[in-house]
């Protein structure tokens, strides 16, 4: 089974129309985000999936048999039988910080090829980038406390593994997702469910059974009946573990006023000589709730975040798009752009690069330029990842991507990481791009709209 049909129908119909008309010029498309879902920045994720797709992109016999039943030209299907991606791709490495309008991925290929990859690119990059950005904001709100991702049961079907990967890129310390532990090497963590506690006649019996089973990694869920009373029983079990030469690792609060309860439970455990026991809090948490708890002095060591994190709530989808910016006709580059009454939907013409200017080691300003322009003293953010259809980029490990994220975020001024009222990061256009955009707008208004 291939991923060739993981696409929208209109990609294939356009491909056949290009083929039928004998039109297959080199074209450049840009993948970028119109606006951030919240805050100032985006944390890119998903490039690894896209590069795997490019490497393996081909149509199987069963794909072509199906398309024939949908009325596609048999000769066009013969053309697809030998289909391979042959173009070039530039991209920001996974784990980069990006801002609206900046090309995150630039695809240059015969237009039939460049058209086909659009849907898959958007599907993987939009979702992973959305979740990685959400995770980054959540981890920031925790102010150095660990965040564990608990979202498997609420994830969107088979996106569960991709979501967990993105949360790890965004800074989460662990996951409850055992498959992610096995497949991706992400540390796994978890406690118990309320059903385990209620299955016993007494709460303390459930604690003792769990501690006896997992003496070296015992976390107890203490809010099944009454959180404070549950904490008292956990303290008893904690002292019993000490007598066996072990330690209670932590207790979890999953309901109620988490901030106030954490203070009460922390004091109770400290008074019992269990100051080393960690407090885990969960229950419909998100970055804003975590931020509020921290501002109010919560004594929480680890936040477990599930639904809100792996679904990107409250933003159901990232506003990422893929637009044509250049076509080569008879060896001449012809810039392309979309003009719209909505300023936000007007695109930038030409083959472009993205540059970042640092001041005192911190991100100061980005500039989008035309290819061939150089921004003095700036770092070029797009790197070659595919050349002539071959992936030339050495994909980093997941820990390597996290290290890049940490390095990038350490250079992002704190005002741009604020959860609310963060300013717009300055992204400017080079002189060449500004002039081309103005020229293209005038040309389109004159030739396509009939305005003088």
Q: What is the pTM of this model?
A: 0.96
CA-wise closest residue to 4 among 86, 60, 71: 60
- Token digits for 183? 């497949």
Quick check: 301 and 169 in contact, CB under 8 A? no
Token pair for 165? 């990967």
- pLDDT for residue 445: 85
Q: Is the peptide bond before 4 cis (omega within 30 degrees of 0)?
A: no
Is 80 exceeded by the pLDDT of residue 21?
yes
pLDDT score at 311: 95
Residue 448 has pLDDT above 80, yes or no: no
The arrangement of secondary structure in 9-131+317-449, i.e. its CATH architecture, is: Alpha-Beta Barrel (3.20)
Residue 342: pLDDT above 80? no
> 339: pLDDT confidence band, cut at 50, 70 and 90?
confident
Beta strands in 317-359 (DSSP E): 320-329, 332-335, 352-359
Q: ∠ CA 286-145-219 to the nearest 5 degrees?
A: 90
Q: In this predicted model, what pLDDT tens digit does every residue of 167-186 receive, in sequence order? A: 999 999 999 999 999 999 99
CB atoms within 10 A of CB 397: 9
Distance CA 396, CA 405 (A): 12
Place 451 in a pLDDT band, splitting at 50, 70 and 90. low
Rounded to whole angstroms, the Cα distance separating 37 from 60 reads 37
> How would residue 1 be classed by pLDDT, with cut points 50, 70 and 90?
confident
* CATH 3.20.20.70 segments of the chain: 134-310
- Asked if pLDDT for residue 284 goes beyond 90, the answer is yes
The average pLDDT across 69-95 equals: 98
Token pair listed for 62: 């069963």
Average pLDDT over residues 326-332: 96
Largest Cα–Cα separation, the chain: 89
For 134-310, CATH gives 3.20.20.70
Task: Write out pLDDT tens, residues 122-152.
Answer: 999 999 999 999 999 999 999 999 999 999 9
Write down the pLDDT at residue 346.
86
Do the beta carbons of residue 99 and residue 273 sit within 8 Å? no
pLDDT at position 338 over 70: yes
Q: How far apart are CA 2 and CA 211, in angstroms?
A: 47
pLDDT at residue number 75? 98
| Distance (Å, whole) CA 116 – CA 4 | 8
DSSP 98-126: E-TT--SEEEEEEHHHHHHTHHHHHHHHH
Three-class secondary structure of residue 152 per DSSP: helix
What mean pLDDT do residues 408-425 have?
97
Average pLDDT over residues 354-369: 98
pLDDT of residue 447: 80
What values do phi and psi take at 41, rounded to 5?
-130, 170
Measured distance CA(149)–CA(132) in Å, rounded: 12
Cα angle for residues 446, 447, 450 (degrees, 5° grid): 55
> Band of the pLDDT at 72, cuts 50, 70, 90?
very high
- Work out the number of other CB atoms within 10 angstroms of the CB of residue 40: 18
What are the φ and ψ backbone dihedral angles of 171, each rounded to 5 degrees?
120, 0
Where does the pLDDT of residue 372 fall: very low under 50, low under 70, confident under 90, or very high at 90 and above?
very high
Side-chain-facing half-sphere of 193: CA atoms under 13 Å: 5
What pLDDT, on a 0 to 100 scale, did the predictor assign at position 450?
66
Selection from 121, 146, 153 nearest residue 45 by Cα? 121
Question: What is the per-residue pLDDT for 444?
Answer: 87
Look over the chain and give the mean of its residue pLDDT values, rounded to a whole number. 96
DSSP-derived secondary structure for 185-246: ---B-----HHHHHTSSSHHHHHHHHHHH-TTS-EEE--SS-HHHHHHHHHHHHHHHHHTT-
Mean pLDDT of 356-364: 98
Pairwise CA distance, residues 37 & 134, whole Å: 9
Report in angstroms the alpha-carbon separations of 55 from 50, 128, 165, 307, 386.
9, 20, 21, 33, 9
CA 106 to chain centre: 18
CA distances, 63 to each of 1, 5, 12 (Å): 8, 7, 12
Give the lowest-confidence range in 135-139, 152-156, 264-268. 152-156
pLDDT beyond 80 at 452: no
Q: Rounded mean pLDDT of 17-38?
A: 97
Compute the half-sphere exposure of residue 84: CA atoms within 13 Å on the CB side of its CA: 10
CATH 3.20.140.10 intervals, the chain: 9-131+317-449
Q: Which residue has the tokens 């016999």?
A: 61
């Amino acid at each position: 089974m291939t991923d060739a049909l993981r696409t929208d129908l209109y990609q294939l119909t356009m491909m056949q129309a290009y083929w039928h008309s004998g039109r297959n010029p080199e074209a450049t498309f840009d993948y970028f985000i119109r606006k951030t879902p919240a805050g100032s920045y985006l944390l890119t994720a998903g490039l690894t999936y896209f590069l795997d797709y490019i490497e393996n992109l081909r149509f199987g016999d069963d794909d072509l048999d199906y398309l024939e039943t949908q009325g596609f030209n048999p000769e066009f299907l013969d053309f697809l039988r030998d289909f391979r991606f042959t173009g070039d791709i530039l991209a920001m490495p996974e784990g980069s910080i990006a801002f609206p309008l900046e090309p995150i991925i630039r695809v240059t290929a015969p237009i039939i090829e460049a058209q086909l990859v659009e849907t898959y690119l958007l599907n993987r990059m939009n979702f992973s980038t959305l979740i990685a950005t959400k995770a980054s904001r959540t981890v920031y709100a925790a102010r150095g406390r660990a965040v564990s991702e608990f979202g498997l049961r609420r994830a969107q079907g088979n996106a569960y593994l991709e979501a967990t990967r993105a949360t790890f890129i965004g800074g989460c310390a662990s996951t409850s997702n055992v498959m992610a532990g096995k497949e991706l090497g992400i540390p796994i963590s978890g406690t118990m469910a309320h059903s385990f506690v209620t299955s016993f006649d007494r709460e303390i019996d459930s604690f003792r059974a769990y501690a006896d089973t997992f003496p070296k990694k015992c976390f107890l869920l203490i809010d099944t009946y009454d959180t404070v009373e549950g904490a008292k029983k956990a303290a008893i079990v904690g002292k019993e573990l000490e007598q066996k030469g072990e330690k209670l690792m932590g207790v979890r609060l999953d309901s109620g006023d988490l901030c106030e309860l954490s203070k009460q439970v922390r004091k109770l455990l400290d008074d019992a000589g269990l100051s080393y026991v960690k407090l885990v809090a969960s229950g419909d948490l998100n970055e804003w709730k975590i931020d509020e708890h921290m501002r109010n002095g919560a004594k929480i060591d680890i936040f477990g975040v599930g639904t809100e994190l792996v679904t990107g709530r409250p933003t159901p989808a990232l506003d990422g798009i893929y637009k044509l910016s250049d076509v080569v006709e008879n060896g001449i580059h012809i810039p392309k752009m979309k003009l719209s009454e909505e300023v936000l939907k007007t695109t930038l013409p030409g083959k472009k690069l993205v540059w970042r200017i640092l001041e005192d080691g911190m991100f100061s300003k980005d500039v989008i330029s035309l290819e061939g322009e150089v921004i003095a003293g700036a770092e070029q953010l797009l790197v070659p990842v595919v050349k002539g259809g071959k992936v030339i980029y050495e994909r980093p490990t997941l820990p390597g991507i996290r290290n890049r994220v940490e390095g990038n975020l350490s250079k992002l001024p704190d005002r741009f990481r604020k959860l609310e009222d963060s300013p717009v990061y300055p992204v400017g256009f080079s002189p060449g791009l500004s002039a081309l955009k103005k020229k293209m707008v005038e040309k389109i208004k004159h030739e396509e709209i009939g305005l003088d």
